[in-house]
Structures are given as structure tokens and as C-alpha cells.
Structure 1
């Protein structure tokens, strides 16, 4: 019954290959879509600033958010890893933008101001914790672009 085992293994390899192709295809289509929409949105925001004839702090912070999102897409495209720090930076920038917009455009500061500042502070502490953890406890197994663990030369012998 060796031929049954060989057939099963070949079928398993084929299914894995097809599954990997579909997953990677979806991955690339999604990344290109997200990258394209991010670029499109940043161009529209920039064009709106040009139409107004001036740039506000809100607009500049929005462009920083788009820049960070674009950087995340680029890093994810190259490494297949989503750096959590970039998400935290986007969240900090978004809360800062909200805070500035809320205070300068709408109403007198209230308890919402304290909540927004507290959120920014907690996110900044999160960045510090993530950076410390990645420095203190680096990933022991590097992963290549296909998602497979890269083997050391010592492991392969």
C-alpha cells in the first residue's frame, strides 16, 4: 500500500500548493487595494488643502495618518509582518487630530479632553512596551516571505 501513501502525499502537496497560491493571491490583491485607496485618499486630502489655499493642523495630521498607513502596507508587502507599532502611531495621530479638532473647532474643553489625552498616553506607553519587548525578547525564528521559518545552517546539517 505504498502507492496509497505516495498518492496521499502528492494530493496533500497539490492541495497545499493551490491553497498557498490562493492565499498569496488574495494577500497581494488586498495589499494593492489598500495601498491604492490610501494613496487615493491622501491625494484627495492634499488637493482639498490646495483648493482651500492653506493647510490646517488637522489636514497635516491626516496626511501623517495616510503616510503611516502607506508605510504599513509597504512593510507588510515586503516582510509579511504587520508591525503593531505603526498601528499604535496611527492611533496616536488620529487621537491627536481628534483632540486638536475638537478643542479648536467645537467646544470648550471638558472631560472628553482628559479621556483623549489619557488614550494618547496609554498608546504611548504601549509603544514603549512593544519596543522594549522586541528589544528584550527578539523573535528567535526569522520567517521568510513565504511564511516559512528560515533554518540556520547549523539546523540544516
Structure 2
């Protein structure tokens, strides 16, 4: 019985380590890809002798990806807000890119999607402030 538990723990530790390495490798690949994409964008902006709003929004998206990777490396978890921010900027970028060909329905739907995502972010932030998941934060909030 003791031998089985020790074996199970050893296997579990090795699998957890393998998963951590796979996550780090994935984050490394994402970081390298983001650097390459940002470098390509910067090269394009230098070659075209101009910067457009869509270029800036795309650069902002790349920075948000970097922030997500950094947050994951620091905390070991990823807040849901980061992908929501990226979604809002992506929708705004799409609206700008299609400025001349957007139908009224597409504009309304895209704007509504941004508002809904923003409301979702507000709800998440409120929930995190009101009901923190960290036990120390909860105790400090109860002491007030």
C-alpha cells in the first residue's frame, strides 16, 4: 500500500513537472511569435513612412499578449480580463479596417459587442473587489 502511494506521488510529480515545462514552452513560443509579428509590423511602418490607427491598435494587441504572458509567468494564472481586453481592441480594429464597407447592422452589432464585453469586465472587476478569492484579502476585507 505504501509503495503504491509513493509510486502515485512520484508519477504525479513528474506529470506536473512535464505540464509546467509544456506551459513554459508554449509561453516561449507565444512570446517569440509576438516579437516576430511586432517586428514585422514595425518594419512595415518604417517602409511605408507612416503609422495608421490600425497599426497602433495592432501594436496594442501585441502588448496585451505580452502582458498576458508576463502575468501568467508572475502569478501562474491568467485573469479572464486580459482576453476580454484583447477582444474589445480586436473588434475596434475590425471596425476601423472596414470603415468604408461597414453596414449599419455590422456597426451596431460590433458596438454592442464591445459594450457587452466592457460590462462583463466591470462585473468581473466588481466581483473580484467584493468577493476576493485570496484568503488573506478576504480576511482583511472582513476585518474592516
TM-score (normalised: structure 2): 0.89
The residue correspondences of 1:135-146 to structure 2 (distance < 5 A) are: 135-141=129-135
Counterpart of 2:54 (choices 47, 52, 58) is 58
Shift of residue 13 of structure 1? Answer: 1.5
Q: Secondary structure at the match of 1:118?
A: helix
* 1:113 is aligned to 2:107: yes
RMSD: 1.3
Number of residue pairs aligned between Structure 1 and Structure 2: 136
Q: Deviation digits for residues 95-154 of structure 1, max 9, x if unmatched?
A: 111111111xx3264211111111111111111111101101100448xxxxxxxxxxxx
Indicate the residue corresponding to 2:17 in structure 1: 21
5+ residue gaps, structure 2, are 137-144
TM-score (norm 1): 0.82
CA deviation after TM superposition for structure 1 residue 81, in Å = 0.7
2:122 to 123, 128, 133: 128
Largest Rg, 1 or 2:
1
> SS at 2:50's partner residue?
coil
**Runs of 4+ residues deviating >3 angstroms:** none
Q: Which runs of 5+ in 1 are unaligned?
A: 143-157
Distance 1:69 1:131, change over 3 A: same
Q: Which residue of 2 aligns with 1:49?
A: 45
Counterpart of 2:139 in structure 1 is none
